[in-house]
Amino acid sequence: MNEAVILAAAEGANPLIPNIWEILVTLLGFAVLMFIVVKFVVPMFEKTYAERTEAIEGGLAKAEAAQAEASAALDEYKQQLIDARTEANRIREEARAEGAQILADLKAKAAAESARIMEQSQVTIEAERQAAVVSLRAEVGTLATELASKIVGESLADDARSARVVDRFLDELETSQNAGAVQ
């Protein structure tokens, strides 16, 4: 063991004692690197990020706006559809009510008319019946008496005769009536 060699080696190479020049070179090198990074690298990367974020977020915002617009339009259409449906319902309802109204009116009118016509015809019939009754009452007596006298004047056993009598009576009646009508 050579004591001196050990000591010399230990002193020369104690790894914890720094070399001033290494420190200086490191500081210098790091300063240069730091300068370049601060000045160029970080701004460029950050700018790229900002642009990318902008691009992506801008695209997203645009898509969102389009989406909103589309949904607004859809809402509007739906609203319009609902409006139109209510409108149609309303109109249909109105038409139905109107139709019912008209029908009822017509029915009432028709009923009134028929009632009126019936009334009138009954009155007419009654009047004619009255006239007929009056005229019959005036004539039936004389006719009955005349017929009876003729029937009694002839023989009742002879059918042919009696039929003749009746026919004659009727002919006479007709002629007298005709004469009366002419008169």
Partner 1 sequence: MTGEISGSLNLIGYGLSAIGGAIGVGLVFAAYINGVARQPEAQRVLQPIAFLGLALTEALAILGLVFAFVL
Partner 2 sequence: MIALALPAANEEGFVAPTLDEMHLPEILPWGAEYGEGFGKQMLLILLSVALISWFFIAAARKRQLVPGRLQFLGEFSYNLVRNSIGRDIIGEKDFRPFVPLLFSLFFFILLNNLWGSIPLAQLPTTSHVGTAYALAAIVYFTWIILGIKKHGIKYFKYATVPSGVPVAILPLVVLIEIISTFLVRPITHSLRLFATMLSGHLIIMLAASGTEFLLLEAEGLLKPLGALTLVGGVGMFLFEVLIQCLQAYVFTLLTAIYIQGSVAAADH
Residues lying near partner 1 in the complex (CB under 8 A): 1, 14-16
Other Cβ atoms closer than 10 A to 165: 18
Instruction: Give the burial string for 128-151 (b: 16+ CB within 10 Å, else e).
Output: eeeeeeeeeeeeeeeeeeeeeeee
Other Cβ atoms closer than 10 A to 11: 9
SS3 (DSSP) at 17:
coil
Contact map string, positions 11 to 40, toward partner 2, x by CB under 8 A: -xxxxxxxxxxxx-xxx-xx-xxx-xxx-x
Cβ proximity to partner 1, 3 vs 22, nearer residue: 3
Q: CA separation (Å) from 23 to 16, 17, 32?
A: 13, 11, 14
Contact map string, positions 36 to 75, toward partner 2, x by CB under 8 A: xxx-xxx-xx-xx--xx--x--------------------
Cβ proximity to partner 1, 16 vs 152, nearer residue: 16
Separation of alpha carbons 52 and 46, rounded Å: 10
For the CB of residue 61, give the shortest distance to partner 2 in the complex, in Å: 16
Contact map string, positions 117 to 136, toward partner 2, x by CB under 8 A: --------------------
Binding residues vs partner 2 (CB under 8 A): 1, 5-6, 9-10, 12-23, 25-27, 29-30, 32-34, 36-38, 40-42, 44-45, 47-48, 51-52, 55
